Amino acid sequence: MFKINQAPTFTRDVSIQIPDGEGFTEAELKTTFRAMPISEADGFDLSTGSGTLDFLKSVVVSFDNLVDNDDNPVPSTPEQISHELDKAYIRLGLVSGYFKGLHKGTLGN
């Protein structure tokens, strides 16, 4: 049986490469996404900054493990999500995480 879900969501640990000195620090950002219908996704131009931002504002539901510099939890509010989406390195990781997260990985080579 296949149950129809009109508003599916999914949560994934998204790898974010944070610029750090001459390299990067990798962090996992647990993100809940809304699975967007293809007909809606086709309206976004992911080759532009504004198109990518609009896409992510439409699919990101929440960040589930945000902490400040002192490791205190930070609530995932719409304002906080917008603040994080203003960072290019976070956008790159989230777009990749969204599309990878839509599909179950395959085993083997």
Say if residue 33 is exposed, middle or buried (CB neighbours under 10 Å; 0-12, 13-18, 19+): buried
Amino acid 103: pLDDT: 84
Residue ranges of domains in the chain: 9-101
Amino acid 106: pLDDT: 54
This prediction's pTM: 0.87
pLDDT digits (tens, 9 = 90+) for 41-97: 999 999 999 999 999 999 999 999 999 999 999 999 999 999 999 999 999 999 999
Both tokens of 71, joined, read 């490791």
Phi and psi angles of residue 68, each rounded to the nearest 5 degrees, phi first: -85, -175
